[in-house]
Amino acid sequence: MDQDKIREGLIDLFNATYGKRINKKSYVGDIQIIERQYSSLLLELADALNESDDNFEVIANILPEYASGQISEIDSKRKKSLQEVDYNMNMVCYFIPLIGTIRSNKSDALAARIVDLWNDKMPNSKIGVSTVANIDGGFKRGFCYISAAVCHSLQKSDDCYELTLLRDYRDNYLLSFEDGQKLVDEYYDIAPTIVNIINRDNGAAKIYDKIWNDYLNPCIKLIQDEKNEECRELYSEMVVNLEEMYLS
């Protein structure tokens, strides 16, 4: 195994997908394009995995070590945290699913090992093993993507009261209507890219604070008051305004 060549290839793959816009309609096709572009690397990985068990751990450590090294060079604690969120998204949506396409009976084990090492080196991370199929099938469950980014910025946990309330609202109210399903589908086409753009802004914390004060906190109060339709209108307004600000 040419360790340096594989390391360079894996880092190049990670950086090539970093910040890439995730679109529900084109996701599977985008993955297939990347898979073709990096077919030589994926074949080399398959050969290396099949060649020797010793290569397995070396390959698994490459990306976690690289990413943690990049984050360690950032001085600001908040910027470190936001960079980690950004990296996590790339790992879950692109890198780990692509590892799963390696033509080796060790590909699933490699993906799982990379995730374990990643979570060890990124103490604030709790990513799991993802595949193209479960990412593609999970788009409709993504209504709280921006909400989660805001709550993370406010140092709230993933299972905090606010996010739990918004997810319950999505599942038990919004998705019961045809136009609600349409809103969720349209939302997930743009939300990940919006979050990526905000995370790269030096004023990300202030942006998330404003989203919280102008939209999310009022939405939560509307849900508590059983004003579900008013919440839908305000959340829709937030998505439209953010799309105009960051994607137009």
- What's this model's pTM, rounded to 2 decimal places? 0.62
- Long-range contacts of residues 164-173, Cβ cutoff 8 Å, at least 24 apart: 165/220, 165/223, 165/224, 166/216, 166/219, 166/220, 166/223, 167/143, 169/223, 169/228, 169/231, 170/143, 170/144, 173/228
Q: Contact 49/41 with Cβ under 8 angstroms?
A: no
Check residue 197 and give its pLDDT: 83
Report the C-alpha gap between 67 and 192 in whole angstroms.
20
Q: What's the whole-number mean pLDDT along residues 39-55?
A: 92
Q: What's the whole-number mean pLDDT along residues 76-104?
A: 84
pLDDT higher at 188 or 246: 246
Weakest mean pLDDT among 82-91, 212-221, 231-240: 82-91
Check residue 84 and give its pLDDT: 80
Q: What's the whole-number mean pLDDT along residues 208-224?
A: 90
pLDDT band (50, 70, 90) for residue 24: low
Q: What's the whole-number mean pLDDT along residues 89-97?
A: 87
Model confidence at 220: pLDDT above 70: yes
Model confidence at 140: pLDDT above 70: no
Q: Which residue has the tokens 């890439």?
A: 20
Weakest mean pLDDT among 56-65, 184-193, 221-230: 184-193
Model confidence at 139: pLDDT above 70: no
**Average pLDDT of the chain?**
84
Weakest mean pLDDT among 36-50, 95-109, 128-142: 128-142
pLDDT higher at 37 or 81: 37
